A and B are shown apart, each in its own frame.
Chain A
């Protein structure tokens, strides 16, 4: 069950992530309403040591709680111009992989699904915990 009953609730959560989780160095996540009843979340969450979580979500709320219609999450380390993406070799990212059950194609995490009901809060928590 989605913990968010409206787009407004989700916006408040997304934009307060850096305040809730001090390990987040910076967040460029933006929620954009694209239609009357659907929206997108896109951007990056930056963590210490150059880890970047690239996020895309398509959201809808036909007649109730927010639903994630599709998503893409990628974990990278380094810059876009040639530095290898970090993968399961990292204990930190292993933590994310195990707890969040992400799929991995080797060095890059790619996940997509028509429906998921994983709490965003839990996911961010697991990143934070594996950081310690």
Chain B
């Protein structure tokens, strides 16, 4: 898995989450708080959406964490952020940090 893989997953997940946010009128973090409390959807027809939304958000959280860890690692090996970006802009595969 590379930094580019992480970014592509983040973009795709965010597009999916935006669709649910527009449909249900709240940001994903608000919805996820409800989901994590075990609250059931008021409408049975929402079950499938809520499952998909929650799991998308869950993976998104993990990808963000993987992104942050990788960026921190890259920054530790470069003098400035601009120098780090010069490296990522080359779009060469950058393995994510464990």
Contacts and interface: CB of A to CB of B under 8 A. Distances in A.
Q: Which range holds the interface residue count of chain A?
A: 20 to 34
Nearest to B66: A62
Helix, strand, loop or mixed for chain B's interface? helix
Contacts, number: 51
A71 B51 contact: yes
B54 A70 contact: yes
A23 interface: no
Contact of B59 (A69, A71, A74, A112): A69
A74 B45 CA distance: 11
A60 B13 CA distance: 12
Q: Which range holds the interface residue count of chain B?
A: 20 to 34
A56 B47 CA distance: 10
B41 to A, nearest CB: 9
Given A36-B5, A110-B47, 17 more contacts: A34-B12, A34-B16, A35-B12, A36-B9, A38-B13, A38-B59, A56-B52, A58-B59, A60-B59, A62-B1, A69-B59, A70-B51, A72-B47, A72-B48, A110-B40, A112-B47, A112-B54
